[in-house]
Amino acid sequence: MNEVQRSKIILKILNQIYPRTPIPLKHKNLFTLLVSVTLSAQTTDVNVNKATKKIYPKYNKPEHFVKLGRKRIEKLIKSTGFFKRKAKSVYLLSKQLLERHGGKVPNNFEDLEKLHGVGHKTASVVMSQGFGFSAFPVDTHIHRLAQRWGLTNGKNVIQTEKDLKRLFPKKLWNKLHLQIIYYGREYCKARECYGLTCKICTTCYPNRKTPLKTKKA
């Protein structure tokens, strides 16, 4: 079975399990989506949502976070981990949005990736989930599963993104990246399956006998 055949099987199974893909990070607007994605680094969406549930009703614009200042932001987001670094990013990107973009989140990769702490993956999530632009954000789940499913060599997340974009139609990217994330959290977890037990792994590689070691993102 080649990668094109595997990609068709994967799509069929994912569409059966996840016909709908709600955005996992709760947000009020484009700015709070950007903040939530920034906070989601090295923690779970559940943790982020728990923290922002108390923050966003009162603070949901760049000017709110600039006025708060870094120390108060740190206290508000402490539960998400790495709070000093994240607070610095949220404060500075809020300041930059006000100074450069009139407080609005830019709708292009170039400007997004110039904001403090915003890398390609964060920009891709905002472009995809916020603006509906076709993008394929690759997180640790997607990077791991793409290797287990034989869709990439796992060299790095950049290569994984290129391979997935090559294999799947552009119109499917926004939904598909969420389907893979959900599947990775539920059925093909980092410390489970190892390419041996979930439905997609066993369908794509029925004769695989040894655990597959994947490269980290």
pTM to 2 decimal places: 0.94
Mean pLDDT of the chain: 97
The answer on 104 and 69 residing in a single domain is yes
Q: What is the mean predicted confidence (pLDDT) over 78-88?
A: 98
- The total number of structural domains in the chain stands at 2
Annotated active-site residue 139? The verdict is yes
Q: What is the mean predicted confidence (pLDDT) over 56-74?
A: 98
Band (pLDDT 50/70/90 cuts) for residue 131 is very high
Is 58's pLDDT higher than 80? yes
The answer on 115 and 67 residing in a single domain is yes
Is 217's pLDDT higher than 90? no
Crossing angle between the packed helical segments 45-55 and 30-39, to the nearest 10 degrees:
130
Catalytic residue among 53, 84, 121, 175: 121
Q: Residue 216 has what pLDDT?
A: 85
Question: Is 140 within 8 Å of 190 (Cβ atoms)?
Answer: yes
Is 204's pLDDT higher than 90? yes
Q: d(Cα 57, Cα 33) in Å, to the nearest integer?
A: 14
Catalytic residue among 139, 165, 209, 216: 139
Annotated active-site residue 121? The verdict is yes
Question: Is 103 within 8 Å of 97 (Cβ atoms)?
Answer: yes
Among residues 212, 201, 174, 167, the alpha carbon closest in space to that of 5 is found at 167
Share of the chain above pLDDT 90, in %: 98
Domain-embedded: residue 103: yes
Per residue in 168-178, pLDDT tens?
999 999 999 99
Helix, strand, coil in percent for the chain, rounding step 5 = 60, 0, 40
The answer on 43 and 15 residing in a single domain is no
Domain that holds residue 148: 3-21+136-204
Domain-embedded: residue 176: yes
- CATH number where 173 lies: 1.10.1670.10
